[in-house]
Amino acid sequence: MSPRRLPVDTTVTAPHPGATQRLHLSTAGVSVVLDITDGRIPAIAHWGATLGELGADGLDAVCEAAVDPVPQNGVDVPVRIGLLPQQSDGWIGRPGLSGARPDGSGWVTRLATEAITLDGAPLTAPHTETGPAEVRFSLADAEQCLEVGIELELLPSGLLRLRAALTNTGTAPYALDELTLALPVPADADELLDFAGRWTKERTPQRRAFTVGTHLRENRRGRTGADAAHVLHAGRPGFGFRTGEVWGVHTAFSGNHRHLAEQISTGRRVLGGGELLLPGEMVLAPGEQYEGPWLYASHGEGLDAVASRFHQHLRAREHHVSTRRPVTLNVWEAVYFDHDLERLTDLAERAAALGVERYVLDDGWFGSRRDDFSGLGDWVVSDEAWPGGLGPLVEQVSDLGMEFGLWFEPEMVNEDSDVARAHPEWILGPSASALPLESRHQQVLNLTIPEAYAHVRDQMLAVLDAHRIGYLKWDHNRDLLEAATRGTGRAAVHEQTLAAYRLMDELRAAHPGLEIESCSSGGARVDLEVLERTDRVWVSDCIDPLERQQMNRWTAQLIPLELMGSHIASGRSHTTGRLHTLAFRAHSALFGHLGIEWDLAEAGEEELAQLRDWIALYVRQRDLLFTGDLVRADRGESTQWLQGVVSPDRGEALFALSTVGRSATSQDERLRFPGLDPAASYRLRPVLIGERPSNLIPPPWLDRALAEDGLVLPGAALERSGLTAPLLDPEQGLLFSLVRESAPRR
């Protein structure tokens, strides 16, 4: 994505200039039909449910059937919506490529396809059908001296991803404003769903009609954002988790970015996304190239199917995490900045006795960092807080059989720090004499300056080299305001983002096996590009289990449970002040990468015994949780949410029934368990740890299941007819284990 210098005379010679070529990519229940008629810009004739084998005639028919009629008072040829929409094709909406040369020329393009490769080989056949595949299109506008390369991949999961790269082949600079890819969706995709949010309230869903105009989600925070669109969906009206055809896109970039849904007056609709470039941020010199981020696109019947394609893709990566996700204790809400070896050693001993497998020391161990106001950027162990160094704690944690983790915030700096006093020019700001407003009493260290980057990298490596550290909690606690290089005033968000990626890559290369958590004042850096180099996200700084029900539920629309940090907090939430039972706190944390954020010295013996049982349950179930399919029941306006994980062979499942509010009626919808094998029978067992939920009124079937060794029921009945819902107080939960009792009847 960083500009690359290429030879000015770089060209691509077309094997068949102006040829018509049509491709059908199909796998995992998804078909993508690409139409390159007369060498024009590639257009998608179909992206959706599988079309089966088409053959040449069928492929032609699909492409021709997708051509629009010519409306009155429009252009005199059918409008073509290419992967990079342009006005020269009749598109009157937002252009995919926007920019100009210093004299104002170059803003209108007539890009055409000059070459195509399929899985690395030149494509010469006019009709091609294949399964998962990678297609590369070489486009050019010789008059404007611009070339665009588009990569498009249909992945084995059925997930589609694409990205574009622009090369300036002219002799004058080219100021790029926008490079946004777009995918068409049908006219009956009438409803949009994406996400809003804020600190401690990430991933709040919002729905609206898909109407004429542009629903534009621009993020200018310099990080993914707690209010990021996350995944922008369009679907048939009323689509839910299990029903309704849905299309969704995700822009995989951790800096400024955009998602959009646009409908023009003809009724044609697109979903798109790309990086948001600040003014003057991307000026390509002759021969330079800019590569944009991946745009991921998922289609399915219901939101669960859309999410499943993302999950399958992530789980198929060679570097994806093991299912043996270690139970993690983070000390932040236990001690905050009050670092004391004796107290932290006692906390480690208590944690190890419960079965905790990873221990993370949070903010406050370095420089003058005794509070939020100073020391950030000085990554040297504090003699004041740790007169004997970190070694004694690290060794004690290791001797207890736990992995040691450490908190860093590498991209940030306090003005009251040694590094800021020595190098004030390393702070991002609009000019040599002005700094942005502080946020959390801190500024941003300009990692695009080689010396600043080396300072952070070398100090971090010194700590990692000196101790057995297997895990970094990587924080990023403020937005990037007025993020420019001081002295030049040029916007630096793009390069700052790439520098952060590069720093993560270097640290992992130097310490193979090192895991990194993406934390950004909670869940403000959750995207598929940062997850190429991190192993976990901190969903939110809010560990209130009621709030986490919503945030975990919707974070999982993009990423699987094993990548979501989900902790059991103390009885009173530190961010909301609410009180919750240990059972509900653990119940809400179980469906994720389990951890603890609690001063265990304040826990009673009964609480510790229950906590030990919850950890043991997680350890027994984590293979299922982190390999199974996430399923979420459609229950209308019910305040009882039902979700579960079903093993790939549908032989077992774990479901959670969670009451997240007070219902207007005393009875609730039946419990229907989705995702099971309808031809098999299952033994359903309630899973209780500690006392029953308060004021539980069980229906007869639940009384029987609790008294006996569960109930055996047909999978079809569990999914289609269901069971009478128990009456539960708000903020209570029940777990159900289901194991296949008999082989499927076919």
What element of type H or E holds 177?
strand 174-179
Q: Do residues 205 and 192 lie in contact, with contact meaning Cβ atoms separated by under 8 Å? A: no
Give SS3 for 275: strand
Token couple for 273? 């996304």
Which residues are part of the catalytic machinery?
475, 541
| Beta pairing partners, 697 | 727
Proportion of the chain above pLDDT 70, given as a percent: 97
What element of type H or E holds 363?
none
Q: Do residues 597 and 571 lie in contact, with contact meaning Cβ atoms separated by under 8 Å? A: no
729 annotated to bind ligand: no
441: pLDDT strictly greater than 60:
yes
| Whole-angstrom distance, CA of residue 612 vs CA of residue 8 | 65
Give 699: exposed, middle or buried? Use CB within 10 Å, 0-12, 13-18, 19+. Answer: middle
6: pLDDT strictly greater than 80:
no
541 annotated to bind ligand: yes
Of 138, 140, 142, 141, nearest to 151 (Cα)? 138
| Whole-angstrom distance, CA of residue 696 vs CA of residue 189 | 41
In degrees, to the nearest 5, what angle opens at C-alpha 641 toward C-alphas 582 and 653? Answer: 85
> Which pLDDT value is given to residue 447?
98
Q: What integer is the mean pLDDT of 193-214?
A: 98
150: pLDDT strictly greater than 90:
yes
Average pLDDT, the chain: 95
What element of type H or E holds 473?
strand 471-474
In degrees, to the nearest 5, what angle opens at C-alpha 741 toward C-alphas 735 and 746? Answer: 120
pLDDT tens-digit profile of 629-678? 999 999 998 999 999 999 999 999 999 999 999 887 767 789 999 999 99
In this prediction, residue 2 has a pLDDT band, given cuts at 50, 70 and 90, of low
| Whole-angstrom distance, CA of residue 378 vs CA of residue 390 | 15
User: CA of 710: how far to CAs of 126, 648, 703, 741, in Å?
Assistant: 60, 23, 10, 11
Q: Do residues 527 and 295 lie in contact, with contact meaning Cβ atoms separated by under 8 Å? A: no
614 annotated to bind ligand: no
Q: What integer is the mean pLDDT of 82-109?
A: 96
Q: Which residues contact 697 (CB under 8 A, 6 or more apart)?
A: 726, 727
> Which pLDDT value is given to residue 203?
98
Q: Which residues contact 156 (CB under 8 A, 6 or more apart)?
A: 27, 28, 132, 312, 313, 316
| Whole-angstrom distance, CA of residue 606 vs CA of residue 378 | 42
Phi first, then psi, for residue 133 (nearest 5°) are: -160, 160
Classify 723 in phi/psi space as left (phi over 0), alpha (psi -120 to 50) or beta.
beta
**Most distant pair of Cα atoms in the chain: their distance:** 82
In this prediction, residue 258 has a pLDDT band, given cuts at 50, 70 and 90, of very high
Strands lying side by side in the sheet with 30-36: 43-49, 30-36, 21-27, 127-130
Q: What integer is the mean pLDDT of 352-374?
A: 98
542 annotated to bind ligand: no
In this prediction, residue 690 has a pLDDT band, given cuts at 50, 70 and 90, of confident
Token couple for 512? 């193979």
Pick the CATH number of 375-388+410-531 from 3.40.50.740, 1.10.730.10, 3.50.30.10, 3.20.20.70: 3.20.20.70
Interaxial angle between packed helices 545-555 and 582-589, expressed in degrees from 0 to 180 and rounded to the nearest 10: 10
363 annotated to bind ligand: yes
| Whole-angstrom distance, CA of residue 447 vs CA of residue 426 | 8
141 annotated to bind ligand: no
User: CA of 109: how far to CAs of 97, 124, 141, 165, 703, in Å?
Assistant: 8, 26, 7, 15, 70
> Which pLDDT value is given to residue 667?
76
> Which pLDDT value is given to residue 12?
32
Q: In 10 A of CB 709, how many CB atoms?
A: 8
> Which pLDDT value is given to residue 669?
86
pLDDT tens-digit profile of 159-197? 999 999 999 999 999 999 999 999 999 999 999 999 999
Token couple for 572? 């009173």
Q: What integer is the mean pLDDT of 22-37?
A: 97
13: pLDDT strictly greater than 50:
no
| Whole-angstrom distance, CA of residue 347 vs CA of residue 137 | 57
> Which pLDDT value is given to residue 638?
93
Q: Do residues 223 and 525 lie in contact, with contact meaning Cβ atoms separated by under 8 Å? A: yes
pLDDT tens-digit profile of 466-525? 999 999 999 999 999 999 999 899 999 999 999 999 999 999 999 999 999 999 999 999
745: pLDDT strictly greater than 60:
no
CATH class of 17-70+79-315: mainly beta
- Return the domain boundaries, the chain: 17-70+79-315, 375-388+410-531, 630-742
Q: What integer is the mean pLDDT of 106-123?
A: 96
Q: What integer is the mean pLDDT of 564-586?
A: 97
Q: Which residues contact 694 (CB under 8 A, 6 or more apart)?
A: 581, 729, 732
744: pLDDT strictly greater than 80:
no
Give 441: exposed, middle or buried? Use CB within 10 Å, 0-12, 13-18, 19+. Answer: middle
378: pLDDT strictly greater than 90:
yes
Judge: domain 630-742, CATH 2.60.40.1180.
yes
4: pLDDT strictly greater than 80:
no
Classify 171 in phi/psi space as left (phi over 0), alpha (psi -120 to 50) or beta.
alpha
Radius of gyration of the chain (CA): 27
9: pLDDT strictly greater than 70:
no
Q: Do residues 696 and 732 lie in contact, with contact meaning Cβ atoms separated by under 8 Å? A: yes
145 annotated to bind ligand: no
Interaxial angle between packed helices 605-625 and 582-589, expressed in degrees from 0 to 180 and rounded to the nearest 10: 20
Proportion of the chain above pLDDT 90, given as a percent: 93
Token couple for 238? 């009323």
Token couple for 322? 């093991």
